């Protein structure tokens, strides 16, 4: 099989990467010349810019998206023995944040069309220990947020939306980030905008907002009206066990500069996704991503699903052959509960059969704004000739 497919291009095309321009570099250099490297004026400027962009009242920046999810679980009051419902088709962080708080993630299977959590299966998993739901907007397509928030209201649960993939997506005309109780975005370099590492929670509830701020910095406050004692002007209080999850001003300045380009970034992602859709929609052996009418995706990922009955090999061969051709394919994701750590905790295999089946059939194709139309066409060419070759 080694030399069956020549490379479609001379350089390796990754599945995602950042787009940094001279303005971004100047913004970061500016901070380095200034007084603050960590918490300074750019943090609140970035928070306000993100809050305004998504239409939320507040935003709290964190050192990364995972820390932000941890903060949200804390603010939601998740503790020892509490259960939190989430999807297996996500990055481990969406469930790990529950474990950090001593809670138990409960995995609910996906809707086989959208690959997002199936809202109809949520109620069956609610017990008197359930405290929250963490839906994930996989690939940038919003989960069924109305159904989820209705269930949450009925059972008094907090909704923490993992929108690491969905900055700029809309649901029923509203921007993701303004809908759930708390929404997390990540600024890892493969995501829509980057701050190097970075994450944020957008939130409308003031009580959550204040808890998030304090959690981000050791559980410490200096706010006069919150202090239990007062020893003098130096005085601060650590009132609960928080962490050092602060973002730096360096990161925030980069984030601010990147956010100015979000419309262009999303436009390009949508354009390239449309090119893939057009190229693959009539192809036997490949299923293009279904889009729910309630949402408009911001296209973090483009995932094709293989129709293995129409192919002579498994996903693994197709994947390897695409890599051979210099196409940086990936798989998002291995169902979280299949990870050895989760297996060791006692999670059974097969608890989410639709997620596991999807896992066997999915391949993520390169998609990022800094790629060119020529790059997109290289991917299309490689996928077409690979699928044609392995057609039954």
When the beta carbons of 192 and 354 are compared against ligand PLP, the nearer one is: 192
- Residues 104/82, Cβ–Cβ less than 8 Å: yes
Which one among 18, 64, 104, 325 touches ligand PLP, defined by CB under 6 A?
A: 64
DSSP string, 208-276: HHHHHHHHHBTTEE--GGG-S---STT--EE-S---B-PPPHHHHHHHHHHHTTHHHHHHHHHHHHHHH
Q: Is position 191 annotated as part of the catalytic site?
A: yes
CB of 96 to ligand PLP, least distance (A): 9
> Which window, 61-69, 206-214, 248-256, 359-367, contacts ligand PLP (CB under 6 A)?
61-69
- Shorter beta-carbon distance to ligand PLP: residue 84 or 136: 136
x/- site string to ligand PLP, residues 76 to 115, per CB under 6 A? Answer: --------------xx-xx---------------------
Task: Identify the residue among 51, 95, 164, 358 touching ligand PLP (CB under 6 A).
Answer: 164
Give the DSSP H/E element, type plus range, for residue 383: helix 373-389
Residue with token string 């973090």: 300
> Nearer Cβ to ligand PLP, position 119 or 199?
199
Q: DSSP character for 192?
A: S
Q: Single out the residue of 268, 301, 292, 273 nearest to residue 372, CA to CA.
A: 268
Q: Are 194 and 188 in contact (CB under 8 A)?
A: yes
Residue 65 in contact with ligand PLP, rule: CB under 6 A: yes
C-alpha 165/C-alpha 169 separation (Å) is 9
Contact between 356 and 338 (Cβ < 8 Å): yes
The residue (of 66 and 180) whose beta carbon lies closer to ligand PLP is 66
φ, ψ for residue 201, nearest 5 deg: -115, 130
| Closest CB 366 distance from ligand PLP, rounded Å | 16
* Binding range to ligand PLP, per CB under 6 A, among 42-50, 60-68, 237-245, 271-279: 60-68
Under a CB-based contact definition with an 8 Å cutoff, are residues 169 and 141 in contact?
yes
131 versus 165: smaller Cβ distance to ligand PLP: 165
Tokens of 350: 């097969």
The beta-strand segments (E) located in the chain are 58-62, 83-86, 104-107, 130-134, 158-162, 170-171, 174-175, 182-186, 199-203, 220-221, 237-238, 286-287, 295-296, 302-306, 362-365
Q: How far is the CB of 304 from ligand PLP (least distance, A)?
A: 18
Query: Under the criterion CB under 6 A, does residue 262 sit at the interface with ligand PLP?
Result: no
Q: Which stretch binds ligand PLP (CB under 6 A): 34-42, 160-168, 352-360, 381-389?
A: 160-168
CB 310 within 8 A of CB 285: yes
Among 16, 71, 199, 335, binds ligand PLP (CB under 6 A): 199
Count of residues that interact with ligand PLP, criterion CB under 6 A = 14
> For 41-44, which contacts have Cβ atoms below 8 Å and span 24 or more sequence positions?
41/249, 42/249, 42/252, 42/253, 42/256, 43/246, 43/247, 43/249, 43/252
Single out the catalytic residue among 131, 191, 211, 354: 191
Query: Binding to ligand PLP by residue 248, rule CB under 6 A?
Result: no
Q: Which of 82, 83, 162, 181 binds ligand PLP (CB under 6 A)?
A: 162
Candidate list 70, 131, 165, 175; residue touching ligand PLP; CB under 6 A: 165
Q: Which stretch binds ligand PLP (CB under 6 A): 162-170, 283-291, 317-325, 359-367?
A: 162-170
The stretch among 3-11, 161-169, 206-214, 231-239 that binds ligand PLP (CB under 6 A) is: 161-169
CB of residue 209 vs ligand PLP: minimum separation in angstroms?
20
Query: What CA–CA distance (Å, rounded) separates 335 from 39?
Result: 37
CB 95 within 8 A of CB 105: yes
Q: Which residues from 119-138 bind ligand PLP, rule CB under 6 A?
A: 136
Residue 162 or 296 with smaller CB distance to ligand PLP? 162
Footprint on residues 172-191 left by ligand PLP (CB under 6 A):
186, 188
At 123, phi and psi to the nearest 5? -55, -40
- Contact (CB, 8 A) for 362 and 290: no
| Footprint of ligand PLP (CB under 6 A) | 64-66, 90-91, 93-94, 136, 162, 164-165, 186, 188, 199
Please give the positions annotated as active site: 191
């Amino acid at each position: 099989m080694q030399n069956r497919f020549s490379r479609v291009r001379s350089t390796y095309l990754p599945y995602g990467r950042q787009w940094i321009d001279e303005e971004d570099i100047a913004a970061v250099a500016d901070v380095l010349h200034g007084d603050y490297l960590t918490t300074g004026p750019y943090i609140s400027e970035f928070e306000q810019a993100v809050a305004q962009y998504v239409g939320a009242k507040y935003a709290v920046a964190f050192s990364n998206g995972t820390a932000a999810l941890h903060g949200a679980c804390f603010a939601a009051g998740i503790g020892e023995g509490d259960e939190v419902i989430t999807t297996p088709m996500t990055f481990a962080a969406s469930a790990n944040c529950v474990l950090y708080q001593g809670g138990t993630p409960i995995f609910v299977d996906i809707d086989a069309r959208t690959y997002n959590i199936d809202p109809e299966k949520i109620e069956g998993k609610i017990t008197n220990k359930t405290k929250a739901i963490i839906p994930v907007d996989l690939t940038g397509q919003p989960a069924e947020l109305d159904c989820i928030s209705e269930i949450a209201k009925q059972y008094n649960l907090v909704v923490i939306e993992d929108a690491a993939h969905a900055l700029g997506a809309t649901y029923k005309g509203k921007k993701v980030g303004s809908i759930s109780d708390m929404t997390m975005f990540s600024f890892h370099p493969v995501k829509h905008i980057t701050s190097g590492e970075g994450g944020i929670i957008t939130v409308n509830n003031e009580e959550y907002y204040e808890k998030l701020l304090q959690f981000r910095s050791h559980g410490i406050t200096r706010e006069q009206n919150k202090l239990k004692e007062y020893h003098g002007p130096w005085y601060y209080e650590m009132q609960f066990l928080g962490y050092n999850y602060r973002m730096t001003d360096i990161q925030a300045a980069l984030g601010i500069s990147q956010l100015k380009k979000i419309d262009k970034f999303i436009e390009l992602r949508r354009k390239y996704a449309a090119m893939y859709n057009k190229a693959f929609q009539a192809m036997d052996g490949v299923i293009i991503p279904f889009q729910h009418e309630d949402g408009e995706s911001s296209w973090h990922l483009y995932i094709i699903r293989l129709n293995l009955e129409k192919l002579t090999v498994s996903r693994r061969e197709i994947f390897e052959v695409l890599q051979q051709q210099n196409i940086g394919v990936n798989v998002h994701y291995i169902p979280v509960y299949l990870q050895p750590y989760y297996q060791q905790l006692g999670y059974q295999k097969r608890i989410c059969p639709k997620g596991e089946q999807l896992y066997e059939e999915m391949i993520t194709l390169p998609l990022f704004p800094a790629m060119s139309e020529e790059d997109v066409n290289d991917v299309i060419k490689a996928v077409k000739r690979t699928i044609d070759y392995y057609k039954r």
